Chain A
Amino acid sequence: MSRPHLLLPFVMLVPSLALAIWIIGYPVADLMRMSVHAVNRFGRVGNFVGALNFSEVLTDPLFWASFWRTVVWTVSLTFGTILISIPVAFILNQDFAGRGLTRLIVLLPWAVSATMTGIVWRWTLNGQFGMLNALLTELGLIGQPIEFLATGEVAFPVAILIGILAAVPLTVIIFLGGFSSQPSDVFDAAHIDGAGPVATFRYMTLPLIRPFINIAIVLNVIYAFNSFAIIWILTQGGPANSTDILVTYLYKVAFQYGKLAEASAMSLMMFAFLLVFCTLYARFAIRERAW
Chain B
Amino acid sequence: MRKMRLFSVLSIAALAAVIAAAPASAKTQLHVIVAHFSDHTLTTFQNAAKRFEAAHPDVEINIEDVSWDNLQQRLATDIAGGTPPDVSVIATRWVLDYVQNDIAEPLDSYIKPEFRSRFYENLLKPGTVGGKTYLLPILASTRALYYNKDLYDKAGVTTVPKTWDDLRAASEKVKAKGDGAYGFGIQGKEIETDTYWYYPFWSYGGEIVENGKSGIASDAGIKAAELYRSFIEAGLSQPSPTGSNRQDIETLFKQGRLGALATGPWLRGQIKSEAPKLNYGIAPMPEGTKHLTWGGTDSMMLFKSSPNKELASKFIEEGIFSKETRLEFTLSEGFLPVLKEEMDDPRLANDASLKVFADMLPIAKFAPLMPQWEQVVATTTSALQQIYLGQADAKTALSAAAAQIDKLIAPQ
Interface assignment of B209: CB less than 8 Å from any CB of chain A: no
Interface assignment of A72: CB less than 8 Å from any CB of chain B: no
Residue pair B374, A257 in contact (C-beta under 8 Å): yes
Enumerate A231-258 residues with CB–CB distance to B below 8 Å: 235-236, 238-241, 252, 255-258
Chain B contacts of A78 at CB under 8 A?
none
Residue pair B378, A236 in contact (C-beta under 8 Å): no
Distance, CA A101 to CA B79, complexed state (A)? 52
Residue pair B248, A126 in contact (C-beta under 8 Å): yes
Chain A contacts of B103 at CB under 8 A?
42
Enumerate B39-81 residues with CB–CB distance to A below 8 Å: 72-73, 75-77, 79-80
Distance, CA A40 to CA B371, complexed state (A)? 12
Residue pair B243, A257 in contact (C-beta under 8 Å): no
Q: Specify which of A128, A151, A238 is in contact with B190 (CB 8 Å cutoff).
A: A238
Chain B, residue nearest A40 (CB): B101
Distance, CA A225 to CA B97, complexed state (A)? 32
Chain A, residue nearest B252 (CB): A128
Q: Specify which of B80, B385, B391 is in contact with A238 (CB 8 Å cutoff).
A: B385
CB proximity of A128 to chain B, nearest CB, Å = 6
Chain A, residue nearest B191 (CB): A236
Residue pair A42, B79 in contact (C-beta under 8 Å): yes
Chain A contacts of B378 at CB under 8 A?
252, 256-257
Residue pair A239, B80 in contact (C-beta under 8 Å): no
Q: Which of B219-227, B234-242, B294-302 touches A?
A: B234-242
Distance, CA A240 to CA B380, complexed state (A)? 9
Chain B contacts of A239 at CB under 8 A?
188-189, 242, 382, 385-386, 388-389
Residue pair A150, B243 in contact (C-beta under 8 Å): yes
Taking A128-B252, A129-B251, A236-B190 as contacts, is the C-beta distance between A241 and B101 under 8 angstroms?
no
Distance, CA A144 to CA B244, complexed state (A)? 16
Distance, CA A150 to CA B147, complexed state (A)? 25
Assign chain A's interface to a size class: 20 to 34
Distance, CA A127 to CA B185, complexed state (A)? 14
Residue pair A258, B97 in contact (C-beta under 8 Å): yes
Interface assignment of B11: CB less than 8 Å from any CB of chain A: no
Taking A43-B77, A43-B80, A129-B251 as contacts, is the C-beta distance between A151 and B389 under 8 angstroms?
yes
Q: Specify which of A128, A145, A252 is in contact with B248 (CB 8 Å cutoff).
A: A128
Chain A contacts of B385 at CB under 8 A?
238-240
Chain A contacts of B76 at CB under 8 A?
41-43, 258
CB proximity of A11 to chain B, nearest CB, Å = 35
Q: Specify which of A44, A144, A241, A252 is in contact with B80 (CB 8 Å cutoff).
A: A44
Chain B contacts of A258 at CB under 8 A?
76, 97, 374
Interface assignment of B375: CB less than 8 Å from any CB of chain A: yes
Most buried by A among B241, B243, B385: B243
Mask, B369-394, CB within 8 Å of A = 1, is: 00010110010011101101101000
Taking A42-B101, A238-B190, A240-B389 as contacts, is the C-beta distance between A147 and B374 under 8 angstroms?
no
Residue pair B251, A150 in contact (C-beta under 8 Å): no
Enumerate A186-233 residues with CB–CB distance to B below 8 Å: none
Residue pair A145, B239 in contact (C-beta under 8 Å): yes
Chain A contacts of B244 at CB under 8 A?
127-128, 150
Q: Specify which of A41, A42, A147 is in contact with B239 (CB 8 Å cutoff).
A: A147
Chain A contacts of B239 at CB under 8 A?
127, 144-145, 147
Interface assignment of A36: CB less than 8 Å from any CB of chain B: no
Mask, B16-30, CB within 8 Å of A = 1, is: 000000000000000
Interface assignment of A149: CB less than 8 Å from any CB of chain B: yes
Residue pair A147, B240 in contact (C-beta under 8 Å): yes
Mask, B236-265, CB within 8 Å of A = 1, is: 001111111000100110000100000000
Taking A129-B251, A239-B189, A239-B389 as contacts, is the C-beta distance between A44 and B238 under 8 angstroms?
no
Residue pair B101, A41 in contact (C-beta under 8 Å): yes
Distance, CA A258 to CA B381, complexed state (A)? 18
Distance, CA A255 to CA B74, complexed state (A)? 10
Which residues of A are in contact with B by a Cβ distance under 8 Å? Answer: 40-44, 126-129, 144-145, 147-151, 235-236, 238-241, 252, 255-258
Please, could you name 10 A-B residue pairs with CB atoms under 8 Å apart, sorted by A?
A: A40-B97, A43-B77, A127-B239, A147-B243, A150-B240, A151-B242, A238-B189, A239-B382, A256-B378, A258-B374
Top 9 A-B pairs, shortest CB-CB distance: A150-B243, A43-B80, A147-B240, A150-B240, A147-B243, A239-B385, A239-B242, A240-B385, A240-B382
Given contacts A149-B243, A150-B188, 18 further A-B contacts (CB under 8 A): A40-B97, A40-B101, A41-B101, A43-B76, A126-B248, A128-B251, A144-B239, A145-B239, A147-B239, A150-B189, A236-B189, A238-B190, A238-B382, A238-B385, A240-B383, A240-B385, A240-B391, A252-B378
